[in-house]
Amino acid sequence: MGRAPETGFYFEPISERLALILEGSPFPSDDHWAFVGDPLEMTSELARLEVANRWPGVDPEGLELQFDTDFDRAAEESEPPRQPAELDFAVDLLK
């Protein structure tokens, strides 16, 4: 399953799904998702209108914004596990 390259509104045109996805989080399905816009620069209503402009026939009022409410799981999936850092220094220099 693909992951979002950046945080934003994404649209899947086959099933007409609009979602707000965090950077690095997996897409809700294996379908093709198109980036619509940055949530810092547009509201969800503006994202709906952008979708209707880019995909004729899509009813912006019929779109429901989906988002993952399990932030801990999304954060866990988006960050690779970190390895403990190893320190390599001469102890004699600390005295």
Structure tokens at 89: 């220094």
**Parallel/antiparallel/unpaired status of strands 34-37 and 8-12:** antiparallel
Q: Give residue 19's pLDDT.
A: 94
Q: Is the pLDDT of residue 26 over 70?
A: yes
Hunting for tokens 């294996």 — which residue is that? 30
Count the Cβ atoms, other than its own, within 10 Å of residue 40: 7
- pLDDT, one tens digit per residue, over 37-82 is 999 999 999 999 999 999 999 999 999 999 865 556 656 655 665 6
Instruction: Specify the pTM.
Output: 0.71
Q: For residues 91 and 60, which has the higher predicted lDDT (pLDDT)?
A: 60
Contact 20, 37 (CB under 8 A): no
